Amino acid sequence: MCGIFACHSHPDVQKFKPTALRMGKQIRHRGPDWSGNHISNNTILVHERLSIVGVDSGAQPLLNEDGSIALAVNGEIYNHKVLRKHLSKPYDFKTHSDCEVIIPLYMEHGIDTPKFLDGMFSWVLHDKKQDRVIAARDPIGVTTFYMGRSSETPGAVYFASELKCLHPVCDNIIAFPPGHVYDSKTDQITRYFTPKWLVEPTNIPTTPVDLKTLRTKFERAVRKRLMAEVPYGVLLSGGLDSSLVASIAQRETLRLQAAHNAQQEQNGFTDGEEELAGIDEDYKLNTIPVLSQLNSFSIGLPGAPDSKAALEVAKFLGTKHHNLTFTIQEGLDALSDVIFHLETYDVTTIRASTPMFLLSRKIKAMGIKMVLSGEGSDEIFGGYLYFHNAPDKKAFHEETVRRVSNLHLADCLRANKSTSAWGLEARVPFLDKEFLEYSMNIDPECKLIDKDHIEKYIIRKAFDTSDEPGEKPYLPDNILWRQKEQFSDGVGYGWIDGLKDTAELHVSDEDMKNPKAIWGDDIPDTKEAYWYRCMFDEHFPPHCASTVMRWTPTWSNQTDPSGRAIAAHAQKYEHAA
């Protein structure tokens, strides 16, 4: 991940430059490899770079040949080499960066540029000749992005990867909506990502699931995200989603190793092309390092259920596994920093982010700069335990659409900011655009949970090879069919209990009766939530709260968002006992 800060139409951009550079410095953790800035007309772009692709030549902001177009990007464009090949006019690329292709795309397609991109991204482009700024965010909001305005500079518009470098200069801030593009010509944000499942959520799909297609599209989504020129790994909680990602990534690692070895022996192919025969074009064009062994990472309290499952998966797959532990006190000590980096006070997000935050620091210390992660599956397939209570398939589908639409305020925010805090990039294959298009158009009847179908049944069944003679299993059966554990539960039940107990010491009954007036109607309903909100207020002014969404389960009377609070979890584990 990288960090960007930009301001367009500032009344005195040269005078503002030292402030802009200081704001960029606030997010240097996202891009510790290099810093850059560019001023043109009354616009300034500031970029903090984490180099993953085009390591030796991709410093930003990127410029076209005559310097009239400048671009600052946070993210990865997985189809960049295919896009380069299919430009209608020749373009003299200056770097190997996956992001540079946005400039010639803009020159050909203008505001429609983001429609052509396959990846996770947020970017700001300035066209000097038109004095025009275009800003865009990826379809689901995997990368964090904010937009702000200031009453002191009413004609200016500001953009940034995180709140912390906007709130000192803006008194009006919004989370830039995913799948949208801003154009300074109209000063409007418009939607460019318009799949039917998203824009017409009450239109219930009727297409039956094809398990082979589901498997193929997800494998392709994982392969696509192996594009890198640096060491990478996988986050492996031991749950279904991360285990599937790890399994496919390991298969590709072994495939590339075999191709590399064959090339060395036969010297008849370049870059393993023989082994890659039959793989889609954009994947073959991407740069993928040949790892000696795939690293996998897990974290939990000593004896945590997820850690035990992760170790089993790692042994089964043959990854080089790092099972890290933390103590409740270490987690508690990190909370203020976690909230500062997350920029939220949502209970579920903070509970799950703290272990991920601690793990990310250790991963970066090992020299890993990119990891694959399993976010998004629960939203797409109704994997949360409260989906057991869905009244019908229509309600089930509409809830999955709502959850996917809000990922940028929940799990995407967690994955992005917990890792970016330490200069680590997280990629999420379940949120691949093509995979989403297929998965969200499956008849929700296929996703419903009943006595014969566990949550996320169809994605489990898609990777069940028990009826495919000669096909190697992707995962052990007990992992493939393991019940959902939310990450904050799976790292050890003592973690959430410790948070609740500590909140009791920090927040009194009297505090609960007298919430702060600045909170308005957004009143914490538990002492834990109250405690987090107070820590958030220590870091951020009140107007930042409008960018926060609280995660709560539907079809449940529980105020605690933990999966353990849902009856289906208790019934499962009582039965197992």
CA atoms of 394 and 522, how far apart (whole Å): 30
Contact 358, 341 (CB under 8 A): no
Give residue 311's identity as a one-letter amino acid code.
L
The answer to whether 412 and 403 are in contact (CB under 8 A) is no
Is 412 a catalytic site residue? Answer: no
> CB neighbours of 139 closer than 8 A, spacing ≥ 6?
178, 179, 193, 433, 436
Compute CA distances 462 → 188, 433, 436, whole Å. 42, 19, 15
307 vs 300: CA distance, rounded Å: 6
Cα–Cα dist 4/47, whole Å? 5
CA distance 551 to 214: 28
3 state SS of 174: strand
Helix (H) or strand (E) holding 324: strand 320-325
* H-helix segments, 267-325: 281-285, 305-317
Residue ranges of the annotated binding site for ATP are: 235, 299, 373-374
Measured CA distances, 331 to 354, 492, 551 (Å): 6, 12, 21
Q: Could you say which of 2, 170, 412, 446 is catalytic?
A: 2
Please report which residue ranges of 471-546 form alpha helices under DSSP H: 477-480, 487-490, 493-506, 509-513, 527-539
Q: Are 4 and 123 in contact (CB under 8 A)?
A: yes
Contacts 24+ apart (CB under 8 A), 211-215: 211/458, 211/461, 211/462, 212/462, 213/438, 214/438, 214/439, 214/442, 214/458, 214/459, 214/462, 215/462, 215/463
Name residues whose C-beta falls within 8 Å of residue 17's C-beta, 6 or more positions apart in sequence: 37, 39, 44
Whole-number Cα distances in Å, 206 to 285, 380, 400, 441:
35, 16, 15, 8
Residues forming a β-bridge with 46: 5, 37
> Which residues share a beta bridge with 189?
182
Beta bridge partners of 147: 159, 174
Residues placed in the known binding site for L-glutamine: 98
Integer CA distances (angstroms), 347 to 194, 260, 344, in order = 31, 46, 9
- Residue set of the binding site: 98, 235, 299, 373-374
Q: Are 391 and 445 in contact (CB under 8 A)?
A: no
Q: How many CA atoms lie within 13 A of 17 on its CB side?
A: 10
d(CA 365, CA 369): 9
Task: Say if residues 372 and 222 touch (Cβ distance below 8 Å).
Answer: yes
Question: Which amino acids are annotated catalytic?
Answer: 2
